[in-house]
Structure 1
Amino acid sequence: MTRSLDKDILAHLKADDLNRIYEDISTLLTDQPENELLEIEFLGKSHPLQPGVNYLRDGTAVAIPKLRLAQAFFVARQKLKGYQNSGSINDSKIGHATAVLLLMDPEHLTAANTRKRLLISTLEGNGPHESILRREKQFVDSLLTSRLHRHTKSPVLWSHRRWLLHLFVAHDVFVDPQHDIKNIVMVAGTRHPRNYTAWHHARFLLDRHPTFAEPVAIDVKDFCLKNHTDISCWSFLVHAICKIENKENRTKLCSSIVAEVLHISDSLRWTNESVWVFLRSIAVTGLIGDQQFESFLAINEKLVSITPEDSSQWRTLEGARRWCEKYRLSSESNVAE
């Protein structure tokens, strides 16, 4: 293990007070103000801190040197092993250790599973269940929305959040899906574009609460127009539109969104694949009228003419018409009535 470490890190492991560093960082992660998410960033060697200063903080914005996090990680790993050997899961301090481990390594499955066992054990007591659940959600959401590239797309963290929401349901604690999609999923999607893991979680949220489909679709449409090359959000927008339960509202909103996207695509000459996969998918659902369908084909032909190097079948006028007409009727039955 030590052979793979940087000599500078090894020197600091011997010279610095690792327990003090661990306590500072673990306390920072676990003692957050209620209803506030930390916005965490890592500092490299180019931003050294004074001795004894283990992180910088300005409100909810936090910057932690990578060296300090590595030092805290070694202590946290030792503590986790100690808890595993003792078989004790009721000690709340293990939550501090797993928090540091997941900040260092978002794919640390043992740390995530340990937090699950600890949370279940804590909920078996007589404490305020809603407060306990929301504190765990607050910690996970801080990792998912911070400027941490690996964390925002971590399958382990998103899976842990999904498991956590099942506990919310079991304890009759409501979670607003529109708020979570807008403030967690979309933020993670901004931090890490084409974040299919985050948008898959959005599908999970919406499938559980389809009555929120219409306002969610409006929010996501605005996100898509600001991130028009991100195919993951466009794909979710199709899903959200098709989830709207009222047929009249579904058709009306779909027509409005398509009209806006077609207008902007034509005005700004959007020829990227993401937007046109969305338009093609909507065109075959039967949610738009014949006139709008023809507008789609006409704008498609116009944009193809300025990008002749793109000769994919569906991007040509006849190719698009044949593809859409082939699947349009068969796809209508897949839209919720």
Structure 2
Amino acid sequence: MTATLSERYISATIRSLKPDTQDDVRAELAASIADAVEARVDQGEAPAEAERAVLTGLGDPDILAAGYAERPLQLIGPKYYLTWWRLLKLLLWIVPICVVGGMTLGLLLSGEGVGETIGQVVPVVLQVIVHLCFWTTLVFVVFERTGADTGVRWDVDQLPEIQEDGAGRSELIASLVFLGIAAVAVVWDRIRGFFPTGGDPIAILNPQLWPWWIGALFALIVVEAVFAIALFRRRRWTTTLAVLNTVLALAFAAWVLIPLLRGELVNPDFLAFVTEAGGEKFAEGQAESAENGGLFGILGVLLGFGVAVGVIWDIVDGWRKARRAGRAELV
């Protein structure tokens, strides 16, 4: 005997329910369907058409069964979504950056080239991101299915402070003072030096950088001062200012890294003086680290790495502030 559409629908609905609830749901659903069909027939519809219309209105039997079982049909529901999203964003900000920094620094110190370093770092970072997303999501899926309590509660003390993304007078003064000190330090290094040598002063920066390369540095300092003043007068970050900040940061990185990679940033006479002053122990340290470029090579890598990290952070921070200021303006 062929089952009716109603019987097939009821069977599809209760098959995923617990055995001790199936009979009650079957009886309830059968009565509900029968009443709805009868009401349509009384209005003049054919019984077959009325039955099809009622079942269509009830929708997918699996969705109906989930309602009876109080079973979620989403991967992560509203109860856990914000906690999951905030934790995942925090992890994606911290873990991949630490992996990139640690691997890059380790590979450069071990003597790997820039190309080889990038080739090894990128696949590892992509794997880290995939694993972070998968395992964090899996944990919250388990929470969703088991109804576990994450222990996260919101209260008014968690409200963030209002952040000012523009540049106030104190920030402008600090920027100009810092730039001024940097310019004076370059000139002082050239004329007087920073270390007592017992004789003529020895500059830390390579004298060969004068006048053109140092002139470019002074030009960057002037442009940075103009940028700080423009930001102060604008009172808020904009896309244009973020672009200019990016260009200036990259220009400064190029000014440091190009001569550093060529071995032309630091005065050779200063390195010779440090080596001689360091004595036997310094020479032993140089020998032990010879495979990685010696102590000066390691210090050069650390300097370049620090400059790169600072520049990247400056660029990201500028774009973050510009984006936040843009959203605030829309509001």
TM, length-normalised to structure 2: 0.19
Of structures 1 and 2, the larger Rg is shown by 2
Structure with more contact order per residue of length (Cα contacts < 8 Å, sep ≥ 6): 2
Q: TM-score, normalised by structure 1?
A: 0.19
